[in-house]
Amino acid sequence: MSRHLLIFLALWLSACATQPPAPLYHQMDKRDVALANQALAEALQTRPKGQSLTWFNSANRHTGSVTPLRTFRHPNGLWCRDYREQLYIGQTSQQWQDTACRSREGRWLPLRS
């Protein structure tokens, strides 16, 4: 009986350990998203490699930054930039990297969403 209990506990604990935390951006409200998108477009258009642009939502004190990393020409002819985003909500932060390309209309569109 105790052997089955140990196996159950081991499986249960391993399941808990393998659950990744929910992405922090799921806690962003509409204003956060608007500010982050505005900062992303401005940073990709105007900031040199390595120079961050921050945004801040005074209503909920959420903040974030966008840092362009690399500029290159995609085989399709569009200009693209790798960038890093950092998000801070309360005492928690997460960062991720992505790539966006500037459309022929001048909008920066992330390759992944």
pLDDT of residue 55: 98
pLDDT tens digits for 23-64? 887 889 999 999 999 999 999 999 999 999 999 999 999 999
Question: Could you tell me the end-to-end alpha-carbon distance of the chain, in angstroms, rounded to an integer?
Answer: 49
pLDDT tens digits for 72-83? 999 999 999 999
Prediction pTM value: 0.78
Residue 96's DSSP bridge partners are 85
Residue 10 has pLDDT above 70, yes or no: no
**Cα 8 to chain center, whole Å?**
36
pLDDT of residue 81: 98
Q: In this structure, are residues 95 and 80 in contact, taking their beta carbons and an 8 Å threshold?
A: no
pLDDT of residue 14: 57
Question: DSSP character for 106?
Answer: S
